């Protein structure tokens, strides 16, 4: 089975799985065509809303905290050098493995040391043409796995900072032609205070602290333009493969705030930042829409193994999305602006059925509880309502169990422990108080 893995950086799920009226301005005709022939996972999640931790997890099937990676400036060995990582694993299984575009896990471009033939370096210009040339001139008759990893719409970061965009600037549209603000533009009354501090202290990264409503609408228009720009490139790439013989996957490493909660960029545990598009086309498998939460990026390696009919590496956290898995989905984050003194802000989100529970490491309203079907914009924090105390306790227990099982020791002291937690658990966690 040939495999084409397509990635677009910072591509939010709501730009493809459009369920809100305020998202109707997105145009993705080529990805819509792929979705019509795919398993379309509407609630797919990244393990970490930041490039390097997410991509490291993607190629290893392991959580970022297991890899010791919590920022874009992580040091240490490249995760792709592990013999059980994506490129090496499929190469040993008999695949021709090629990579084009953004690697960034941690180096900008992939190399043979990561298990791939480098078809094209980091950068969208010429990426599609390089992929087509490799496909047309590939001498081997073995199955292939080609990864096409686009940078757009990540260049919205440069737009927010009023910097030049590397693949062409996006003209500012008249405000009357710009999309409306999302319904959840204003932060909820019980929003976590840690996020407000992050926006204020990381202005160099976010660039939107002084935005007016019109500026935010222009931002949304620019982001939609970048989404369409990468969709056009993806369409040209898809025309070069036979869907009857090739499994095609589309996914992103994380999303973008896109003005929801007055937020842009990533790192926050809002749905717009952590929920990613995930399309899985497998020849012979009927198209369907799947609403159950899945850990798309963490599970990518074992899912591709399942599609290819090869065993997945032992000892990884990820499991194929094609197999039943009742486990909750967990997303983690760390705000890692090195310019600030003191401990870094961290957080965890747990998605279990229709519920989403989030806890940040400090601050007012650090616990968040939402029923996503009734409140997809996360505007009503049920953690402050006594009538949901039983659900809140259940979510605390789920997250504690996950942290213990996954050895997420760095966050254990930041959890809100459920009342059901045995006394010895607290004693073990706080053997060293700080």
220 shares its domain with 150: yes
Long-range contacts of 355-360 (CB under 8 A, 24+ apart): 355/391, 355/395, 356/271, 357/383, 357/392, 357/395, 357/396, 357/398, 357/399, 358/192, 358/269, 359/399, 359/414, 359/415, 359/416, 360/192, 360/194, 360/195, 360/269, 360/414
Last residue of a domain, one of 292, 322, 352: 322
255 shares its domain with 391: no
Question: What was the pLDDT predicted at 209?
Answer: 86
Torsion on CA atoms 133, 136, 141, 143, rounded to nearest 10:
60
257 shares its domain with 337: no
The 10 Å Cβ neighbour count of residue 285 is 14
Last residue of a domain, one of 296, 322, 348: 322
Phi (first) and psi of residue 43, to 5 degrees = -125, 65
* Host domain of residue 406: 330-429
Which region holds residue 142: left if phi is over 0, alpha if psi is between -120 and 50, else beta?
A: beta
Question: What was the pLDDT predicted at 329?
Answer: 97
Copy the structure tokens of residue 297: 């990026």
264 shares its domain with 399: no
Phi (first) and psi of residue 64, to 5 degrees = -55, -35
Q: Tell me, what CATH number does 109's domain have?
A: 3.40.720.10
Q: Tell me, what CATH number does 349's domain have?
A: 3.30.1120.10
Number of domains in the chain: 2
Tokens 């009503």 sit on residue? 380
- Cα 209 from Cα 212, distance rounded (Å): 9
Last residue of a domain, one of 306, 322, 338: 322
307 shares its domain with 337: no
Residue pLDDT tens, the chain, 434 long? 999 999 999 999 999 999 888 899 999 999 999 999 999 999 999 999 999 999 999 999 999 999 998 888 766 678 888 999 999 999 999 999 999 999 988 888 999 999 999 999 999 999 999 999 999 998 778 999 999 999 999 999 999 999 999 999 998 899 999 999 999 999 899 999 999 888 877 777 888 988 999 999 999 999 999 999 999 999 999 999 999 999 999 999 999 999 999 999 899 999 999 999 999 999 999 999 999 999 999 999 999 999 999 999 999 999 999 998 888 999 999 986 555 555 689 999 999 999 999 999 999 999 999 999 999 999 999 999 999 999 999 999 999 999 999 999 989 999 999 998 888 888 888 887 77
231 shares its domain with 362: no
230 shares its domain with 339: no
186 shares its domain with 102: yes
134 shares its domain with 198: yes
Copy the structure tokens of residue 71: 């920022």
250 shares its domain with 270: yes
Copy the structure tokens of residue 274: 């952590």
214 shares its domain with 281: yes
- Tell me: cis bond preceding 136? Omega within 30 of 0 counts: no
Copy the structure tokens of residue 211: 């935005």
- Cα 193 from Cα 10, distance rounded (Å): 24
User: Model pTM greater than 0.75?
Assistant: yes
- Cα 276 from Cα 31, distance rounded (Å): 14
Is 142 part of a structural domain of the chain?
Answer: yes
Is 405 part of a structural domain of the chain?
Answer: yes
313 shares its domain with 415: no
Is 434 part of a structural domain of the chain?
Answer: no
């Amino acid at each position: 089975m040939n495999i084409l893995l397509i990635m677009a950086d910072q591509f939010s799920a709501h730009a493809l799985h459009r369920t809100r009226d305020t998202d109707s301005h997105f145009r993705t005709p080529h990805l819509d065509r792929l979705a019509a022939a795919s398993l379309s996972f509407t609630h797919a999640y990244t393990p970490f809303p930041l490039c390097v931790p997410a991509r490291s997890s993607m190629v290893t099937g392991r959580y970022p905290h297991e890899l010791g990676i919590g920022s874009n400036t992580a040091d240490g060995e490249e995760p792709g050098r592990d013999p059980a990582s994506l490129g090496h694993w499929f190469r040993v299984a008999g695949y021709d493995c090629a990579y084009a575009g953004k690697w960034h896990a941690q180096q900008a471009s992939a190399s043979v040391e990561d298990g791939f033939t480098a078809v094209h370096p980091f950068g969208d210009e010429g990426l599609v043409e390089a992929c087509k040339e490799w496909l047309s001139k590939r001498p081997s008759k073995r199955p292939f796995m080609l990864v096409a990893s686009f940078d757009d719409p990540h260049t919205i970061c440069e737009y927010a900072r009023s910097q030049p965009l590397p693949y062409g600037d996006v003209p500012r549209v008249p405000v009357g032609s710009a999309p409306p603000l999302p319904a959840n533009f204003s932060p909820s009354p019980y929003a976590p205070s840690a996020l407000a501090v992050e926006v204020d202290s990381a202005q160099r990264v976010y660039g939107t602290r002084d935005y007016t409503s019109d500026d935010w609408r222009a931002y949304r228009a620019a982001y939609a333009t970048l989404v369409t720009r990468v969709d056009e490139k993806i369409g040209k790439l898809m025309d070069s493969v036979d869907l009857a013989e090739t499994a095609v996957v589309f996914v992103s490493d994380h999303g973008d705030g896109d003005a929801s909660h007055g937020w842009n960029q990533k790192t926050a545990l809002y749905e717009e930042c952590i929920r990613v598009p995930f399309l899985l086309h497998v020849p012979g498998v009927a198209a369907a829409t799947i609403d159950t939460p899945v850990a798309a990026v963490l599970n990518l390696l074992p899912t591709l193994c399942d599609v290819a009919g090869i065993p997945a590496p032992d000892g990884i956290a990820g499991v194929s999305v094609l197999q039943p898995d009742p486990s909750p989905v967990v997303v983690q984050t760390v705000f890692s602006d090195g310019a600030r003194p003191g401990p870094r802000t961290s957080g965890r989100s747990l998605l279990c059925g229709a519920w989403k529970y989030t806890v940040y490491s400090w601050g007012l309203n650090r616990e968040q509880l939402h029923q996503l079907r009734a409140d997809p914009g996360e505007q009503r924090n049920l953690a402050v309502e006594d009538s949901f105390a039983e659900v809140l306790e259940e979510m605390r227990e789920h997250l504690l169990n996950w942290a213990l099982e996954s050895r997420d020791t760095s966050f254990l002291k930041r959890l809100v422990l459920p009342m059901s937690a045995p006394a010895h658990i607290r004693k073990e966690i706080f053997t060293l108080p700080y």
